[in-house]
Structure 1
Amino acid sequence: MNLSLALACVWMIAANLLAMLPSKDNYWTRAYWLMGVGVPLLGFICWQNGPWLTLLVMAAGLSMLRWPVVYLMRWLRRSLRGQG
């Protein structure tokens, strides 16, 4: 296992630990921090391992941060409907 995959595992453990702690803002601050760290980490994974493994790690990360993705999809759908 190379460094990028080890860092991805650490990111996933940190995401799980942060989800277990109580939060007053429904975990949005933590989600923003995790996204800010996760996006460059995906670039590093792609650089070291290629796009297929990056897509696999990205799918795992999206499953952990599913509510920001749901809200993004809803926002995109509303935005696209307003354009047409």
Structure 2
Amino acid sequence: MTFSLILACLWLVAANVLAMIPSKDNHWARAYGLIAVGIPLLGYVTYENGPWIGLLALAAGMSILRWPVRYLFAWIKRQFSRPDTN
């Protein structure tokens, strides 16, 4: 197992532990921190292990951070939809 995959597994464990701790802001501050650490880590995983393993790591991260991903897709959909004119 490469060093980048070990770091990715540690990121997944840390994300799960952070999700178990109660939060007043519905875990959004923790999600921003996980995203800030996870994006460069995803690039490192892809660089060391190839694009297929990188896509698997992306899917794992998206399953952990499902609400930020959902809001991102809703925002993208709003940006590309036509304004409602009556």
Q: Deviations over 1:12-33 (max 9, x none)?
A: 0000000000001110000000
Unaligned runs of at least 5 residues, structure 1: none
Which residue is 2:71 aligned to?
Answer: 71
Deviation of 1:69 (Å): 0.5
In 2, the alpha carbon distance for the partners of 1:46 and 1:71 equals: 25
Which residue is 1:39 aligned to?
Answer: 39
Unaligned runs of at least 5 residues, structure 2: none
Which residue is 2:60 aligned to?
Answer: 60
Identity score, percent: 58
RMSD, aligned CA = 1.3
Structure label with greater radius of gyration? 2
The residue identity in structure 1 corresponding to 2:17 is: L
Which residue is 2:9 aligned to?
Answer: 9
Deviation of 1:82 (Å): 4.0
The residue identity in structure 1 corresponding to 2:26 is: N
Going by fraction, where is helix more abundant, 1 or 2? Answer: 1
Q: Deviations over 1:31-71 (max 9, x none)?
A: 00000000000111111101000000110110000000000
Q: TM-score when scaled to structure 2?
A: 0.93
Count of residue correspondences: 84
Deviation of 1:79 (Å): 1.0
Q: TM-score when scaled to structure 1?
A: 0.95
The residue identity in structure 1 corresponding to 2:29 is: T
In 2, the alpha carbon distance for the partners of 1:21 and 1:27 equals: 9
